[in-house]
Structure 1
Amino acid sequence: MSFVPSAPGSSFASPPGGGPDAVRAEMPPAGYWRRWCADAAPAQTPASGNAAAKPEAERPPQVVPAERGEPPYRILIVEDDRTQALFAQSILKGSGMDTEVVALASEALAAMERFQPDLMLMDLHMPGMSGTELTAQIRSNAAYAHTPVVFLTGDTDPERHLEVLDSGADDYLSKPVRPRHLIAAVQNRVRRARALKQQREQEVRRHPATGLLTRNYMLQQLSLAFPAQTSGAVHFVVIEGTSALRDHYGYAALDAILTEAGKLVAATAGERAASRLNDNTFVVYWPGLPADRHAVWARQLRDAFLGQTLEINGDPVRLRACVGYVDLARGFPDAGGALAAAEEALRLARAEATGIAAYRPPADAVSEQAAQVLAQVQDALAHERLELAFQPIVSVVGSDQQQYQTLVRLRDAEGRLHTAAEIVPVAERAGLVHEIDRRVMTRAMAILGEQLRGSQRARLFVPQAARTLGQDGYSDWLLGAMTDLGIEGRLLVVDVRLGDALVHSVLLREFCERMMTAGVRLCLSQFQSNPEADALMAQLPLSYLRLSPHYAARIDQQAVHDEMRQVIERAHLQGLQVIGQHVEDPQTAAKLWLSGIDYIQGDLVQRAADAMDFDFQSALL
C-alpha cells in the first residue's frame, strides 16, 4: 500500500526516522468531512491555477512600439531555415515591428538597399556564405557600417561567440530564445542605433567651431523648401577686404578671423538657419520674416560687425560686411533661383554706400530691337533652330589632343545666323538662358557620345551661365547623361564667364564639387585681373583660364602686357592652363607665346565652323 502527496494544504504524518518507504498517513483539512452535510457551503470552483502558474515565457509578447512619432522598427531576418525565420518574424511583427525575410545570404545586401533596415537578425551557419562573412561585407559598406547585426543561432561554442563578435556583430542570441528576450534585445539595439544616428546627424549638421549649419545641410534644407516657400527672406553676408587681410597676415590668420566672423553670424542669427557658403560669404534664411523687416534685419547683420572688434596676431581689426537680400514672396521655382537672386543683390550691395541692397529683377526688354530678338529666340526654341559652331583651341607647343570651343548660333525664320552676343543678353533678361544652356549642353553631350563610335576624342568647351549650373537637379541631370552615354569627364569643360562667376560664385562652387568627382573640368573665361577676379581664381577648382580679349587687343601697351604676364604666372602657380583668345595675327600669337601662354584661339588658327575637322597634328606654332 502506498500514498501519494495530496494537494497543497494537506497534512502528512510519518513516523520518526521514516525513509522513502515509510508509510505516511494523510490528515484531511479541517471541515473536509462537512462536504456532504446539508448545511455545508456551496462548493467553490478554485481559481484557474493553470493560468496563474503559466511560466513567464508562455505569456504573449508585449507590443513594443517605436518612440512616438518614429516609424516602426525595421528588421531584416537572414535565415535559411524557413521555420526558424517565420518564428522570429511572427514574434517581431506581433510586437509592432516591420520585418522582411531573406533566405540566401548572397541576397542580403540587395535587400538592405531596398528595405533599409534598422537591424539585421541573422543565422550563423548558412549555405554559400557564413554569417561572419556577410557581416564583414556589411561593415565594409559605408552606408551600413553602423547598422546593428544580431546573430540568432544554436551554436553553443564559446569560441564561436568570440569570433562572431570579432567579425563586427553587436550581439549573439542562443537558440532556443524566449520571445520576450528576443524582443528586448532587438528593441534595445534599434533604439540605441537610432539615437546614435541622430547624434551623428546633429554633428554633421553644425560646424564644430562656429555653430553654423554646414553648407551641405543648409543647401539640402533650402532645396526642400522650394517652390512652396513664398514668404520670408534669404540674406547673403560677405566680409569685405579679405584679400588685403590675407596678403598682410597670411592664410592661417585669415582663416582664424573668418571663423570668428562665423561665430558672430551664428550669434546674431540665433535660431534662424545660417551657414558659411564659402571663405567669406554667409547665408541666413528666415522663412517667417515679414516683408517690412527685411531691410531692418539686413542692417542688424551688417551692424553686428561694425560694433565688434576682433584680433589678428594681436592687432585689433573691425570687419566690414555687405548684405544683399531677396524677398521670397517673388516666388522661385527652386533654391538655386533664390540663391542666385540673393547673390545678385549682394553684388548691388557692394556698390552701395550703406553696404545693403535688395534684389531687383532685371527690367524687361522694352526696345523694339530687343523685342524682335526675343521673338526670334522664342521661335528658335520652339522650332529647334539653335546650332553649334566650333573653333579649335590649339597648343602653342603642339599636341594631338583635339579641343574645340562650342559657340551657340541662332538661325531665324529667314535663315540668318545670330551669334551668342546678340541673343544671350536678351535671353537672360527674359529668363530663357537656362533653356538655351540646356539645349546647348544636350547637343554637346550628343556629340561626345557619337565620338565613342569613331576614333575622334575631342574635348569640348561648353559655355554655361552660372545660374543654370546652380539650378536644382542640373548637376544630377548632367551626371546622369554622362553615365548613360558613357562619356569621359575629361572630355567636357564647362566654360563660365568671369562676370557671371563673380556674381554667382556660391552656386558655381557647389556645382564644381559635384562635377569634379566625374572628372569634368571648369574654365573661367573673359578673365581680366582685379582683386575680386584674382581671389576667385584662387577659390574655384579651375583647370583652364581664358584671358579677356582686352589683353590680345592691347598687347602692345607695356602695362597691359606686364599685367597679362602676371596673370599667366599666377595661373601656372595654381596649376592652370591659360588660353589666349581673339588672336587675329602672328605678331599677337608670338607675344602671347613669349609670355607663357599655353593655348591660342582665334581667326588666326581657324574661324568658327560647323564641323570639327581641324588638323591639330600640323598646327605647331
Structure 2
Amino acid sequence: MPEKEEKERELKAAFVQHLPERIASIKGDWSRLNSSEWDHSRLKSLYQKVQGLTGASGQYGLISLSESSFSLEVYLNTLIGIDNPLSTDQEETGSTLINAMKHEVDLIRSKSGIDQPEERLIYLLHSNREIAPGLTDVLEEHDCTVLSFNHPDDVEGEVQRRLPNVLILDAEFLPHIGLLNRELAIQQERHKTQVDIVCLSQSRDLEQRLLALRSGVDAYYLTPINTQELVDNIIELASPKHESYRILVVEDDQSQADFAASILKKSGMKTLAITDPMKVIDALDKFRPDLILMDLYMPNASGTELTTIIREHPDFIMTPIVFLSGEQDTDKQLQALSVGGDDFLSKPIRPRHLISTISNRVERARILEKKRHYPSARDPVTGLYNRRHFYEKLDALTTDTEQRNTLGGVLYITLHEGSEGNKPVEFDRFMATLGNHIMEVLEEQDIASRIDETSIAIVVLRPHQKNIIALGEKISARIQELKNGNKHTPHIGIAFIHKEGINASELMANASAACAEIQHSTQMMKIYETGDGLTAPSKQATLPTLLKQALQENGFQLLFRALGHPHKAEPEVYELKLRLRLPDGKQLGNAEIISLANEEGLATQVSQWLVERALITLEEKRVEGKQISLLVELASSTIFQNTITEWLKKQLRARQMVGFGLIFEYRIADLSANLKVSKQHFSELRDMGIKIALSRYGASNAAIKVLQYLHADYVHIAGPVLEAADKEVSEIIEQIHQSNAKIILPARSEPASITPLWRDSADLVPIISGTTRH
C-alpha cells in the first residue's frame, strides 16, 4: 500500500477509535445548551463542532455517519438566530438526531472490530476541580452507570448497598479513605469479588504516589490526562473475566494430580489431570490449556523431555509451563527451566502460593499474547512512537478542545536539504541521534513519532502557547548542535489547536505546511498561518489561497447526501459534495468551489481530488460487500481540456476496478460549448462503466435536444422547473423518460412544496437522515 494511503488509513483508524468521545462531547454540549440560559455562542460552537464531524466523516468515507451528522447540522442551523429557549419538542428532536449518530458510531466500531463495552457500575469520588475533562460523559457513552460522590463517607454508605466494578477517586481524598478501604475489604470478601481503584492526581509528589500504592490503588494517572485512554483502562478493569483459566496437570501420581486439580478447581479454574505423560500431546490439542502444571520425574518421559517436545508445537510456544516437583537441587531446577519451562515450584506447596503463581503466569502470558498480535509502538531506529500510536493520541487530543484547560499543538520536524543523497546507515544514525535529543526535552505527556523517512512529529499539551513555542526553540537549539559537521538541515513547523472541529489530519497538514514554508530559507522554525506552503503570489487572494491549500493538504470536507425514493427500490445512491471551511467559520459549497476552481485554473486538480475520494469510498464498500453509487459533479472544463479520461483509466487499473458505481454530473449549459467533444467523452466514460448525469436541467427545447444527443442516464432538475404547471410538468417528464433518462429532484428547504406529480415521477429525491428514509 502506498505510504500516502497507509497514513490516511491510520488516521481513519484513530478517528474511528475516538468517535464515542466526539459523540459524548456533542451530547454534553446539547444538554448544557438546554439546561442553562440560552447561549448563542454555545450554539455556534456546537454547530461548528458538528460541521467538523460531518466533513471528517465524509473525508474518511463513513457515509452513514456523515449523513446523520449532516442532519443534525441542518437542524442546528435552523436554531441559529432564535432568542427563546427550546421547546420540549425541539430538545427531543436534537436528542433523537444525536442518538442516531451514536447508533451509526456503534455500527462503525462494531464493523471495525472494536469491541462494544458492557454496562458497568462506576463510583466517582471527586472534588469540584475537573481533572479528566468529559470523563463521566464518555463513560456513559460506553454504557457505564456513573455515580458521583463528593465525600468518602457517602461512598462508604453506597458500598454497603452494592459494590462498583471500579472506584475512581481524586488524589486529594487519599488521606481520608481509611474507613472506606476497610468497608471495601469487608464487602469484597463477602461477595467474593474485587473492586479496582483508579486514582487521578495533579501532583508528581512521591509521597502521594506511595500513599496511593499503600491504599490499594490499581492505576494511577497524572495530569494532563487523556480521557479516552483513561476510559479504555477503566473499561478493561471493569470487564468481567468470563473465561476460567484452563490448567493441564501432568503428574504420574494419581493422588498428587487430584490434589493439585482440586485446589485449582476451588479457585474457579478448569482442570484436566492426566497421569500418562505419553498422552500429553493429545490432551493439548483437545483441552487447549492456558498453562501446563507438570511433574519433573515421570516414567516413559520426563518433564524436561515433554517440555522440549511441546515447545516444538507452534500453537504452544507461548503456553506457560510450570514444574511442580520435590527436586531440591538448584542446578537441576535451572536445567529444567532452560529447556522452556517458565517457573519451578517445590513440593510440598501451600495452596495459596500455587493459585497465586499460576494466576500470575496465565495473566502475564495473556498480556504477551496480546502484544504479539500488535506491532511495536516504537520506531526501531529513533526509539520514538510509531505513526499509528501517534495518530491515536493526536485524534484524542483534537476530540474535545472546549473542556480542556491546556493548549494543544503539533511540532512537525522535516529534514530537507541534502537528506536524500545520504547513505541509509548514516541517515538512520542521524535520525536516531535526533530522536534521542528530542526525547530528552519532552515532558511525560508528550508523544513524539517518526512520521516517515525524513519527518518527526510531536503532539504536546502546555498551559500556554508560549510554552509550546519555547519547546520548539529548545528543540531548534538541539538541532543546531547536531548540524555542526553534517549536512542535514531540519526545519520545524508548529500548528495549534485553536478552533472547534479541527481534526488530526488538518492539524498535521497545517504543521507540515508551516514546515514547508521555510524549507528553502535559513529560518529554523515557523508557526502555521493561512497560506503556508504556497508560493508568494498565491497568498495575495484569500479564497484562491484557501482552495490551493485545501488541495495540497486534503483540507476539503466531504458530504454524502442520500438520494432515494420512498416507493422505488433503487440501489443506494449518494451525492458526493465538497465543502471548504473558511477562517471566519463560514463554508464554501460545492458549486462555489467548482466555480472558483474554474476561475483559478484548478478545475482538473479539484475534479481529480473528488474522483479519487469517490474511488476510495467505492473500494471500501466493495470490501464490505456493499454496492452503492456516487453522484459526483465535475467541472465541464475537464472535458474540453481532456484531463480526466487517461488519468481515470490509470486510477481504475491501479485499483483493479471498473467505473461501476460512479455517476459523473456536468452542468448542461457548460456542455453546449462543444457537444461533439462532450459526446465522445461520455462514450469513453461509459466504456469504463461510468454513468452520466446532466445538472441544472431547465427542460427547454434546447435542453431536450442536448439530452437526446448525449444520451445521459440522469437529469438533475433545475429548481425553477419544479414550479411549472402540472400540464407542462407532465410533458417534461414524458420527454425525459422517452430519452431513457431518470429524474433526480433537487434539494428543497421545504420538501413538502414539491408537487405530487414531480414526487411520484422522480427516480431519486434527496433524503434527510432521521426524518425520511427510503
> Which band: TM-score by shorter chain?
0.3 to 0.5
RCO higher in structure (CA 8 A, sep ≥6)? 2
Q: TM-score, normalised by structure 1?
A: 0.39
Bigger Rg, which one: 1
